[in-house]
Chain A
């Protein structure tokens, strides 16, 4: 559907799974009986172009996590701004967080913090789209989120889909986290099940109704037999070829040991699971690491409940500990697994919140200041960029926009900053504009 180019020169067709599977995989479903015939290396070899080896774990706290009450406290501000939370010192002298970020404060050496993000937006929905794509909402065309661009450009690395979203907490009103012009095939593979649940299983990947593998194998044989009899000739309509490819990939995914392994969160040492925290968020983050390890290129980890218009401080006391526990655990774990250099970890949220505490003891949407956390893939740890004014209302130095943050993600993931796609109606679309954040490069 779309052509892709970089630097103005057209370079061939879409690099979908279909495009690179088409190479050596003709012949219908007959080959299905050999489990795992499509090894991961085979898939990669067929891409015929170099791909970046950096994966991304993108954390999204939906609703707008208050920057005042986490990473940008203003202890000197008036009561109506400061709030009741105490400031604590961090691993970096002179930098203070609130008491809700104890572990993040101790582990600041492992990540970089941007305190001068200017989201230029105070709307939910718009935020999800903007932060995940680097583009403001445009009524006439939907820009793809980074995960979809990765899927489109880099394709599969293993039997697992290249782009996975954990949790349902992305606002889709403005196509946040969606593939837009790149087409549904590049949308996230969504897993809504609670990774912290006793019996965690993944819809459509884990066999239904506790079906045994033997029966799945039998069914696959039955399908291959029926398909062979339906086939009138070697040549078949093109969409049938596409279905064959999807079926092969699907069966590989269902039966590949790496799939089972990726989702077998129970096989992690209990101590490590405890370190991430036995919370939905903590286990989701651990699952994200397992997915990245198994070949997923981009994992969105979503977490709900951050729109604290009322009772902000109790709300944050409820939500923040899981995050404060899990993100440092992830960074430590990635380092110990030797994955940190090849894994970019980003934490973004809708926007900041109002300096003034409202009469309902809440903070409302704030369009011009907020924070971003970034780590791994060469991002220097312990680096705190920018500062806001005395009330945390406006960036004072190093003002950085959403497109700069997203351009940094593009850069780290090996996506050209001048990447251009042509829509079905022939309109050339440059996906991202804006320079990466220099200090993170």
Chain B
């Protein structure tokens, strides 16, 4: 075991959560700040990818800036007995980026249990996709709505709360 195993995953996450520096040798730069070698940092990141702690190292795009002005969260009240089967069908649609079953909050006027995020270049395009989902759900759906996003208020990814 090298002395560098003393550096915790937490410290590595703290060093990376603001993003990777956009320089020629980014891992070497972060490793230098942590007081470890580039090779050791890369090995630790690889291990975190294997464990699933890091999904990937990538860019988070801003859909609005990329011209995808319409982003609708479609929500559906689907028969509980059919939600698994129908959810799988909706999730497989190419224009659905995220699809989840979530609990209802009926007492708050929220009867919806299936969420499907739909992106498009125009609101019309999103509406057409919404109609396609409605057709698949058919009679198993008792109500639906669409919540367009008006503004990104925050998008930072993970931030560890400071300890101590």
Do A and B come together as binding partners? no
Q: Which B residues have a C-beta under 8 Å from some C-beta of A?
A: none
